[in-house]
A and B are shown apart, each in its own frame.
With several copies, the nearest count.
Chain A
Amino acid sequence: MYYNLYQKKLQQFMLNKEQIAKRIAQELQDGFYVNLGIGIPTLVANYIPDGLDVVLQSENGLLGMGPFPYEGEEDPDLINAGKQTITTIPGSAFFDSAMSFGMIRAGKVHLTVLGAMEVADNGDIANWKIPGKMVKGMGGAMDLVAAAQNIIVAMQHTNPKGESKLLSKCTLPLTGVGCVKKVVTDLGVFNITENGFECIEYAPGVTIDEIIAKTAGRITIAPTVKEIAI
């Protein structure tokens, strides 16, 4: 019972996946076209602030992605980049894969949110390959990180072994170089600056000392640092 209490307290000390998504949703602005990766990023769609017109892009060829279909209404011809059955919203448009990545490359997509295995303090990202393990491929990740205007990574601050995923240099094969602008983890929110990670917000109950301890890359604390408001 004491153990359970401890667990409960721990959970209050850091953001869960939904809360990370909710925090990232605060970055959305009216009129944004957004690409959300698989995993935590997908959850961001659930927290788009009321009144904001945000259009979701799916890189397999859709602008205006809607929620999952109701049971029985799945259409095999209508899936997202995660191969999940989806729907569209009014005003959507389909296109081929070249146009899809063309609009990403041309900077028309305002924000890309994706997960990562590692992020370096210069904005490098690694999220597609672990040497020695089966490599499934980079899919659209390399295109997205190379070309999107603004890239936010959503991930856990540490790996299951407790090692920092915010590094001075990625150890895994890179997906892209110097491209990540912001990282939102269970512990806080970090801009990528010339001086490495800059902690601008911390999760409720998490201390700055803990964040510094768990960040392997260069890190500074913003003078205006504050608790994440979600």
Chain B
Amino acid sequence: MKKVVSGADEAIQDIPSGAILMLGGFGLCGIPENCIAALVKKGINNLTCISNNAGVDDFGIGLMLQKKQVKKMISSYVGENAEFERQMLSGELEVELVPQGTLATRCMATAYGMPAVYLLAGYGTEVADGKEVRNFNGKNYLLENAFNSDFAIVKAWKGDTQGNLIFKDTARNFNPLMAMAGKITIAEVEELVEPGILDPNFIHVPGIYVHRIFQGLHYEKRIEQRTVRKVSK
């Protein structure tokens, strides 16, 4: 069981054009920087990307958008990205907007082998168009399908060679859900350790879900909205 690969290039080498990818992260927080760079370098296209956001113009998935590698984005929020806006308005880029909790829960459904789930979000809105509505206990729910993706690409804080993953702070976000939902899951980690180093009580994603893992390099971790308070009082 050799899950450890040499780096991002090897990890993504068999991802073909036209693939459906899940990409972890919320905004620029916890995104798989190394794999995104490798995907840009590899130059495959016609990708469908399931990711809560689409990066900014010059970082994150924005880098793939610049290279016109993305055919379709499935996201909850895609602001802060001029190139994205241009491609969307010109019709080059297809966009499916999904409520954030629905996006997360559809990943979880995949991870837990549930084909579809009933969720409250979007009832009575355009999100409900074409979906089954069902009333349980007086509330209306939409039937939302689990996601099918070919590859899930996530970024963890630490991982071991068995594929066990842990995440730091709010960089967790969609990463564990997508890691568990991928047909093939690729994890880049800030620190890769031997089995037995991570406490088995505090594993966020058990290794059974992870197929390839490597220690990433040169994390930039760009901050989107740097907000601070004054030193005072």
Within the complex, are A and B direct neighbours (CB within 8 Å)?
Answer: yes
Q: Which of B12-20, B40-48, B96-104 contacts A (4 or more CB under 8 A)?
A: B96-104
Complex Cα gap A48–B170 (Å): 24
Contact A85:B30 (CB < 8 A) given known A95-B203, A147-B121: no
A77 close to B113 (CB less than 8 A): no
Q: Kindly provide the distance from the CB of A128 to the nearest chain B CB, expressed in whole angstroms.
A: 9
Q: Which of B68-107 contact A (CB under 8 A)?
A: 75-80, 85, 88-89, 97, 99-105, 107
B135 within 8 A of A: no
Residue pair B100, A139 in contact (C-beta under 8 Å): yes
- A107 beta carbon closer than 8 Å to chain B: yes
Pair A173/B113 contact, Cβ less than 8 Å: no
- Interface pair B171/A93, CB less than 8 Å apart: no
A73: shortest Cβ distance to chain B, in Å? 8
Closest beta carbon of chain B to A145's beta carbon, Å: 8
Contact status B164-A142, CB under 8 Å: no
- Nearest A residue to B160 via CB reads A91
Residues of A near B206 (CB, < 8 A) are 63, 93, 95, 99, 103
Contact B78 A137 (CB under 8 A): yes
A 106-119 to B, binary, CB cutoff 8 A, 1 in contact else 0: 11110000000000
Is B77 touching A137 in the complex (CB atoms < 8 A)?
A: yes
Bound complex: CA A99 to CA B175 (Å)? 13
| Per-position 1/0 for A28-61, Cβ under 8 A of B | 0011010000000000000000000101011111
Known contacts: A74-B226, A77-B170. The answer to whether A92 contacts B200 by CB under 8 A is yes
Chain A residues with CB under 8 A of B110? 106
Q: Mark A87-104, 1 if CB is under 8 A from B, else 0.
A: 011111111111111111
What residues of chain A lie closer than 8 Å to B169, measured between beta carbons?
Answer: 62, 75, 77-78, 88, 94
Shortest Cβ distance from A86 into chain B, in angstroms?
Answer: 8
Alpha-carbon gap, A88 to B194, bound state (A): 15
Chief secondary structure at chain A's binding surface: loop
Rounded to whole angstroms, the CA-CA distance of A31 and B4 in the bound complex is 13
Q: B107, A90: Cβ atoms under 8 Å?
A: no
Contact status B112-A105, CB under 8 Å: yes
B62: Cβ under 8 A from any A Cβ: no
Nearest A-chain residue to B209, judged by Cβ: A108
| B208 adjacent to A79 (CB under 8 Å) | no
Which residues of A lie under 8 Å from residue B125 when comparing CB positions?
142, 173-177
A138 in the interface (beta carbon within 8 A) = yes
Cross-chain contact of B76 among A68, A106, A138 (Cβ < 8 A) = A138
Q: How far is the CB of B147 from chain A (nearest CB, A)?
A: 12
Interface check B174, CB cutoff 8 A = yes
Question: Which of chain B's residues have a CB closer than 8 A to the CB of A204?
Answer: none
Q: Chain B: which residue is nearest A78 at the CB level?
A: B169
A75 and B223 CA atoms in complex are apart in Å by 8
Residues of A within 8 A of B218 (CB): none
A143 to B122 alpha-carbon distance, docked (Å): 7
Counting chain A CB atoms within 10 Å of each CB, which of B101, B119, B122, B173 scores highest? B101
- Whether the pair A134, B89 counts as a contact (CB closer than 8 A) is yes
Cβ of A82 under 8 Å from chain B: yes
Name which residue of chain A comes closest to B176, CB basis: A96
| B127 adjacent to A70 (CB under 8 Å) | no
Provide the bound-state CA to CA distance between A64 and B1, in Å. Answer: 13
Asked if residues B112 and A143 are in contact (CB atoms below 8 Å), the reply is no
The 8 A CB mask of B150-162 against A (1 = contact, 0 = none) is 0000000100111
Other A-B pairs, 17, CB within 8 Å; known A83-B28, A90-B195, A102-B111: A60-B29, A63-B207, A80-B170, A89-B195, A91-B195, A94-B170, A96-B172, A97-B100, A97-B104, A98-B107, A101-B101, A105-B101, A134-B85, A134-B88, A136-B77, A139-B77, A176-B125
Which residues of A are in contact with B by a Cβ distance under 8 Å? Answer: 30-31, 33, 53, 55, 57-64, 67-71, 73-80, 82-86, 88-109, 124, 134-143, 146-147, 173-178
20 A-B pairs in the complex with CB atoms less than 8 angstroms apart = A59-B101, A60-B29, A83-B29, A85-B226, A91-B161, A93-B203, A94-B167, A94-B201, A97-B52, A98-B177, A99-B112, A101-B100, A101-B121, A105-B114, A138-B76, A138-B77, A138-B127, A139-B76, A142-B99, A143-B99
